[in-house]
Amino acid sequence: MAKKRYLGFYLLTLFSCTRILVQSILLESDSEPQIGQEFTLTCNTSSVGINWYRNNIYIGWSENQYTIVKSDACNISTDPERYTFEHCGVKHELTIKSLNDLDDGSVWRCQNRQDSHFSNNFTLTVFTGQPRLFMNGQQLVCLYKAEQNSDMKFLPWKHSIDNELVREIEGYYISDTVYGLNMTNSQNNGGIYSCSVNDGGTVQKVVYNFIPQQAPHLYEPTLKGELQTGDNSTFTVTYLENNILNRFVNVSWYRAGQILETVDRVTIGEEPSTISHPYNNNIKLPGIKTILTIKSVIVTDQEFYSSQICNQNGCSLASFQLAIADDVNGEDSDINVTEAVIVAVLAVALLIVGIFVFIKCRKYRASKQSESCEQNVYDSTVPTPTPTPASVYDTLGTTENENGSSEYDRAIHVPSPASEYTTLGQQSQYENTANQPPSVYYNTLSGVSMTEKLKEETDNSNEYENPKGHKETGK
């Protein structure tokens, strides 16, 4: 039982000491925060070791060998002549050697390394008598904190070059005491920026010199208009003359990717120039114009040309294409003559093909017409049997000739006898073709006039139809 009471007393004593330690850790400062001045934070605790935090980020630790004993860290209220304390507390100090804009608004804490308990939060507020400017990435920030700033107001930004106002720019409030302006890394944005703030009667002003880290910006790349052979071709590129940005400027000219140098008809030079500021044309900036000249251009000079201008931050490139106008009276007309010859050859070829096709079509149509005529002749020369009236057959009866065939048969199937032809030649021709096939017979007769042939056939037919003109056999 006695051991349990002792253990309980010991735990209660330890807990009481722990509570005393928690209550004794305190973060405070006696310094006045000013830009560029030292500032000291003090963590009062009985612990011999602590950790330090800024905006909840651990930055380091300290132990008693870096501290001094603080005499008033403890107090004896009962019988001080009988009791005394040798060590009542430890003081830990953290000193910021030089305050800057980033320290303003930061939150600090210290922590007991033995039991991990934290002190109170300490917010660092920097009071200044003028605004402060600094770059935060691509954002220009104006910060101003006055001791009494109830009527504080930021004025628009001012951008100047050589004490000449280029433009005024409305910024935006990041907070009640912070004014911002977005910036891009462009040579057009280079120059002096001023931030002004009205704190209720007086205007405070601070300036910032913005120097963009960028390759040269090329202005007004130009090429003389369309050229004729024999003209002089001039290419120009202008860049800003800036002793800071262009300390190590280098200019090169290229033709179809091959570097050019001053030789023969090609010259490279430069001359001073002025540049109108893109934001304010009334502002004239000093510039340098680099010039490429090609004298008496010819057809082979037609190509792509480029100018490359470099500084310590990089290179910029401007490209051109040289074109020569058509000149039929000069030596450059060779290209057009060649094109004309090609067109003429194609036209002649098309004409020849057209004539050939026309002739073939004519021959084809003539051949078709000839075949049609021959077919018509063949059809017209085939004798068409003419029916003989019954009276004729009655008169003829069945009398047979010397060959045993009747007059009826001859009238229908046999051509007129040879004796009825007017000439022996016709009779011989008939006799020679009488025993041939019909196709041979008609081909043989093709030499006879078709009109005469048709007339003879018609006459022979009429003799059979006229009984008076018919010679009756056997009477």
Looking at the structure, give the CATH architecture of the domain made up of residues 218-321.
Sandwich (2.60)
Checking if the pLDDT of 70 tops 50, the result is no
Q: For 247-261, write each residue's pLDDT tens digit.
A: 678 999 999 989 998
Helix (H, G, I), strand (E, B) or coil at 14: helix
pLDDT tens track for 419-456: 444 444 444 444 444 444 444 444 444 445 555 555 56
Q: Of 371, 231, 392, which is closest to residue 302 (Cα–Cα)?
A: 231
Q: What is the pLDDT of residue 123?
A: 84
Band of residue 156 on the pLDDT scale cut at 50, 70, 90: very high
State which amino acid sits at residue 299: V
Instruction: Identify the band that residue 264 occupies on the pLDDT scale cut at 50, 70 and 90.
Output: confident
* Report for 85-89, 300-304, 365-369, 402-406: range of highest mean pLDDT: 300-304
Q: What is the pLDDT of residue 53?
A: 93
CA distance 16 to 8: 12
Burial class (CB in 10 A: 0-12, 13-18, 19+), 216: buried
- Same fold? 22-75+86-123, 132-210: yes
Model confidence at 118: pLDDT above 70: yes
Range among 69-73, 123-127, 260-264, 363-367 with highest mean pLDDT value: 260-264
Q: Which of 50-59, 91-100, 360-369, 448-457 has the lowest mean pLDDT?
A: 448-457
Q: Could you tell me which of 122, 149, 130, 120 has the C-alpha nearest to residue 39?
A: 122
* Tokens of residue 184, six digits: 């891009």
Domain boundary assignment for the chain: 22-75+86-123, 132-210, 218-321, 335-379, 390-469
**Dihedral (CA of 436, 442, 448, 453) sign:** positive
Contacts of 449 (CB under 8 A, 6+ apart): none
Half-sphere exposure of 17 (CA within 13 A, CB side): 11
Would you state the pLDDT for residue 193?
Answer: 96
Q: CA quadruple 344, 345, 346, 351: dihedral positive or negative?
A: positive
Which of 196-210, 299-313, 344-358, 433-447 is predicted least confidently? 433-447
Q: Residue 232 in 3-state DSSP?
A: coil
pLDDT at 159 (0 to 100): 96
DSSP 32-60: PP-BTS-EEEEEEES-SEEEEEETTEEEE
The pair phi, psi for residue 35, each rounded to 5°, is -60, 130
Contact of 82 with 67, CB cutoff 8 Å: no
* Mean pLDDT lowest among 16-25, 207-216, 228-237: 16-25
Share of the chain above pLDDT 70, in %: 61
Q: Which of 201-215, 320-334, 347-361 has the lowest mean pLDDT?
A: 320-334
pLDDT of 27 strictly over 90: no
Phi and psi of 364, rounded to 5°? -65, -45
Question: pLDDT band at residue 321, thresholds of 50, 70 and 90?
Answer: confident
For the whole model, what pTM was predicted?
A: 0.46
With CA atoms as reference, report the closest residue to 28 among 19, 17, 39.
39
Give residue for tokens 């934070």.
41
Question: Distance between CA 29 and CA 33 in Å, rounded?
Answer: 10
Instruction: Please tell me the distance from the alpha carbon of residue 148 to that of residue 103, in angstroms, as a whole number.
Output: 20
| Residue 148: pLDDT band with limits 50, 70, 90 | low
> What is the Cα–Cα distance from 409 to 418, expressed in whole angstroms?
16
* 186 or 254, higher pLDDT: 254
Distance CA 289, CA 239 (A): 7
Burial 304-337 (b: 16+ CB within 10 A, else e): ebbbbbbbebeebebebebebeebeeeebeeeee
Q: Is the pLDDT at 98 greater than 90, yes or no?
A: no
Residue 140 has pLDDT above 80, yes or no: yes
Q: At the fourth CATH level, which superfamily is domain 22-75+86-123? A: Immunoglobulins (2.60.40.10)
Res 336: pLDDT: 64
Residue 128 or residue 417, greater confidence: 128
Which position has the token pair 């510039």? Answer: 287
DSSP 470: P
Range scoring the smallest mean pLDDT among 66-70, 331-335, 342-346? 66-70
Written as six digits, the tokens of 56 are 């909840």
The residue that leads in pLDDT, 194 or 340, is 194
Q: How confident is the model at residue 181 (pLDDT cuts 50, 70, 90)?
A: very high
DSSP string across 418-461: GGGSSSHHHHHHHHHHTTS-HHHHHHHGGGS-HHHHHHHHHHHH
Distance (Å, whole) CA 309 – CA 315: 6
Long-range CB contact pairs, 434-442, < 8 A, 24+: 438/382, 442/378, 442/381, 442/382
Q: State the amino acid at position 469 in one-letter form.
A: G
Can you give the pLDDT at residue 149? Answer: 55
Domain 132-210 fold:
Immunoglobulin-like (2.60.40)
Alpha-carbon distance 160 to 65, whole Å?
54
Residues in Cβ contact with 25 at an 8 Å cutoff, skipping those fewer than 6 apart: 43, 44, 45, 47, 50, 110, 112, 117, 118, 119
Q: CA-CA-CA-CA torsion for 49, 55, 59, 60, nearest 10 degrees? A: 0
What are the structure tokens assigned to 17, written together?
């000491």
pLDDT value at position 144?
83
Residue 269, SS3 per DSSP: strand
Instruction: Give the span between the Cα atoms of 207 and 270, in whole angstroms.
Output: 35
pLDDT at res. 454: 56
Can you read off the two tokens belonging to residue 173?
């409030």
Q: Which residues are CB-contacts of 252 (< 8 A; sequence separation ≥ 6)?
A: 259, 307, 308, 309, 310
Residue 251 and residue 307 in contact, taking contact as beta carbons nearer than 8 Å: yes
Q: Which stretch, 59-63, 115-119, 448-452, has highest mean pLDDT?
A: 115-119
Beta bridge partners of residue 196, listed in sequence order: 205
Per-residue pLDDT at 416 exceeds 50: no
Distances (CA, A) of 125 to 51, 113, 149, 200, 349: 22, 27, 14, 21, 94
